[in-house]
Amino acid sequence: MTTTDIEPSEVTKWDPGLTERVMGWIRPLIKGYHRAEVRGLDDFPPGGALVVSNHSGGLFAMDVPVFATGFYEKYGYDRPVYTLSHDIIFTGPTADFFRKTGFIPANHENADEALRSGGVVVVFPGGDYDVYRPTTSESKIDFDGRTGYVRAALNAGVPIVPSVSIGGQEAQLFLSRGEWLAKAARLDKLMRVKILPISFGFPFGLSAVLPVNVPLPTKIVTQVLAPIDIVAQFGEAPDVDEVDAHVRHVMQRALDELARERRLPVLG
């Protein structure tokens, strides 16, 4: 087998030129429609870093575009921003586009390679459980007990950079994750889907994923927090649950502060 026969890894498919063009296309939406702010990037650590964030906005989550436009605007395109993502976005005609703009399948191998290469890796431990939380719980950090991100940072020897965002869960009124509805529809058996979220929005009103409502122009504010050196703070053999509890505590405190600053729903 020659070197040209080796299948490139997911990490090597990132295209900085395409990514820069895409950032230019979406920046008016992010800065105009959502009036997005990204704070705290001045102290972002060099090299590989695992950005651990809450997830908001349902089907049209803006967390990655908001963070990425802010990060690339400040640091340029020498260091890629990767996002650990569900396999479903790598099916169909848009799969190659997502790979070239930094989305990689969520597994420990890809996370480790991306982090060791010096990339910035964004992970949402709460996943779909978090992104479809009721709007009344928008300022609550809840990863549904998932702690794999701690091991990913330890394995790669990189810091965890907590990041919190508010506003995305006001893009429509999220009423329920619909776990009971998914079970009643046997989606848990047929498709391994545990939620069927119920929301209310514009222009169709009540929705259980379908019909798809248009996101409201909610103001989104993201706060990037100080990096956490796990080994320096918790020792060579840290307790994963203890680290996870600390990360969530730091994030909850920061999210509470953002919530106190917010004056009106959607308007910010």
Closest by CA position to 218, among listed 165, 164, 170: 170
Work out the burial of residue 230: count CB atoms within 10 Å of its CB; fewer than 13 is exposed, 13-18 middle, 19 or more buried: buried
SS3 per-residue string spanning the chain: CCHHHCCCCCHHHCCHHHHHHHHHHHHHHHHHHCCCEEECHHHCCCCCEEEEECCCCHHHCCHHHHHHHHHHHHHCCCCCEEEEECHHHHCCCCHHHHHHCCEEECCHHHHHHHHHCCCEEEECCCHHHHHCCCHHHCCCCCCCCCCHHHHHHHHHCCCEEEEEEECHHHCCEEEECCHHHHHHCCHHHHCCCCCCCEEEEECCEEEECECCCECCCCCCEEEECCCECHHHHHCCCCCHHHHHHHHHHHHHHHHHHHHHHCCCCCCC
State pTM to two decimals: 0.94
- Condensed to tens digits (0 to 9), the pLDDT of residues 80-104 reads 999 999 888 999 999 999 999 999 9
pLDDT value, residue 7: 61
Residue 252 phi/psi, 5° resolution? Answer: -65, -40
Task: Write b or e for each residue in 119-149: b if 16 or more Cβ atoms lie within 10 A of its Cβ, otherwise e.
Answer: bbbbbbbbbbbbbbbbbeebbebebeebbbb
CA angle 109, 110, 112 (to 5 degrees): 65
The most distant pair of C-alpha atoms in the chain lies apart, rounded to whole Å, by 62
- Condensed to tens digits (0 to 9), the pLDDT of residues 37-79 reads 999 999 999 999 999 999 999 999 999 999 999 999 999 999 9
**Using CA atoms, how far apart are residues 251 and 233, in angstroms rounded to an integer?**
17
pLDDT value, residue 67: 98
Mean pLDDT across 143-148: 97
> Residue ranges per domain, the chain?
8-171+216-261, 172-214
- Condensed to tens digits (0 to 9), the pLDDT of residues 193-205 reads 789 999 999 999 9
Tell me the CATH architecture of domain 8-171+216-261. 3-Layer(aba) Sandwich (3.40)
- Condensed to tens digits (0 to 9), the pLDDT of residues 150-181 reads 999 999 999 999 999 999 999 999 999 999 99
Closest by CA position to 166, among listed 143, 139, 206: 139
Mean pLDDT across 181-196: 83
**Using CA atoms, how far apart are residues 261 and 111, in angstroms rounded to an integer?**
34
